[in-house]
Amino acid sequence: MERLRRVTSLWSWLPAFRAVAETQHLPTASSQLFVSASALSRTIRLLEDDVGRRLFLRNGRRIELNEAGQRLLVAVRNAMRIVHEGLLAIEGAELAGPVYVSTAGLVTTAHLLPALRRLRREQPELVPHVLDQSDRDVGGLLLRGEIDVALVTQPLVHPQLTKLHLGAARSGIYCGPGHPLHGVHALTEAKVLEHAFVALSPDERGVPQETWPPTLDRRVGMVVSQLWTGLEVCASGELLAVLPDAIAGAPTHREHLFRLPLEVVPPTDLFALHRATLIEGGRAEAVAAAVARELAATSV
């Protein structure tokens, strides 16, 4: 009972602590909780007095977690997630309601959307919310509970996140009607490299958006920042392009693009990230499993 009384004494302050800890900005946290910044500040001081140590470093208007605060934030996140999953178990709603899914680009989106369509046919009460986020943003969004699962090509390693390898997305070299290699079914690597490519520029972190082999030199005739732009340039018949098969091979593009019979482009590994869950077969796992099935079907 002593443990119960100890936790009960500070339980009501924990949502305020989490809001401040995750935003590290009192005005932002106060707007989230619909309380004044001064009231929120008093709540944090009451919690610190009860715990018996400071949880934040304060420097003027700046406030950030110290080591003790970081440990408490992990515990509060886990506790709130346990309560939420317990409610889901009571309601029997693990595969009903919203599931927030982050996708990092066209490669992940190309496999996510058909997977979600199939999953919704199986679980019609599930309501996916698809959000575009870069790989570097998803860790904080997952830990704060703003998204349930993230599809990425560059996996994040974090002790509070589960990483699942879903499979590999295949890509190929494509050209459009009018290109000299269109419809040619016997090609050598040297013959292909005689022609120029439209290439994707690296992302904001400098990470290549294509999986072109670094050991092969190719001639680049145009550089674009968006895959859709490269696809349009390729479909015009002017330049070759490295395109994901799930996109270039879709019915809307199949008539305009020809996949060269040359396998030199390595596949792109796709991963799912989500918080560790207590209930097996929850929403995050269901989305990840659906995408894995989609990848397996398209790789045959």
Q: What is the CATH number of the domain that holds 15?
A: 1.10.10.10
282 and 135 inside one domain: yes
Mean pLDDT of 120-139: 84
188 and 259 inside one domain: yes
Q: What percent of the chain has pLDDT over 90?
A: 38
237 and 275 inside one domain: no
Between 35 and 240, the higher pLDDT residue? 240
pLDDT of residue 81 exceeding 70, the answer is yes
| SS3 assignment, position 241 | strand
83 and 216 inside one domain: no
| Averaged confidence pLDDT in the chain | 86
pLDDT of residue 300 exceeding 70, the answer is no
| Count of structural domains, the chain | 3
What pLDDT was estimated at residue 37? 87
Mean pLDDT of 162-189: 93
64, 89, 114 - which closes a domain: 89
Tell me which residue range forms the domain holding 57: 2-89
What is the rounded CA–CA span in Å between residue 82 and residue 295?
31
Tell me the pLDDT band of 287, cut-offs 50, 70 and 90: very high
What pLDDT was estimated at residue 108? 81
65, 89, 113 - which closes a domain: 89
150 and 126 inside one domain: yes
0.85 cut: is pTM over it? no
What pLDDT was estimated at residue 232? 92
Strand order in 171-175's β-sheet? 219-224, 196-200, 240-244, 171-175, 258-259
CATH number for 232? 3.40.190.10
70, 89, 108 - which closes a domain: 89
What is the rounded CA–CA span in Å between residue 4 and residue 74?
19
Mean pLDDT of 6-30: 88
Residue 54 has phi, psi (to 5 degrees) of -75, 145
Tokens encoding 62: 């700046």
290 and 232 inside one domain: no
Tell me the pLDDT band of 281, cut-offs 50, 70 and 90: low
Mean pLDDT of 189-199: 95
17 and 103 inside one domain: no
What is the rounded CA–CA span in Å between residue 174 and residue 172?
6
277 and 150 inside one domain: yes
DSSP sequence for 88-133 = HHHHT-TTSEEEEEEE-SHHHHHHHHHHHHHHHHH-TTEEEEEEE-
Between 136 and 233, the higher pLDDT residue? 233
| Contact partners, residue 74, CB within 8 Å, separation at least 6 | 160
pLDDT of residue 279 exceeding 70, the answer is no
81 and 99 inside one domain: no
155 and 187 inside one domain: no
Buried b (16+ CB within 10 A) or exposed e, 126-142: bebeeeebebebbbebb
262 and 175 inside one domain: yes
pLDDT of residue 218 exceeding 90, the answer is yes
Tokens encoding 171: 């890509």
What is the rounded CA–CA span in Å between residue 25 and residue 199?
41
pLDDT of residue 280 exceeding 70, the answer is no
Q: How many residues are recorded in the chain?
A: 300
109 and 252 inside one domain: no
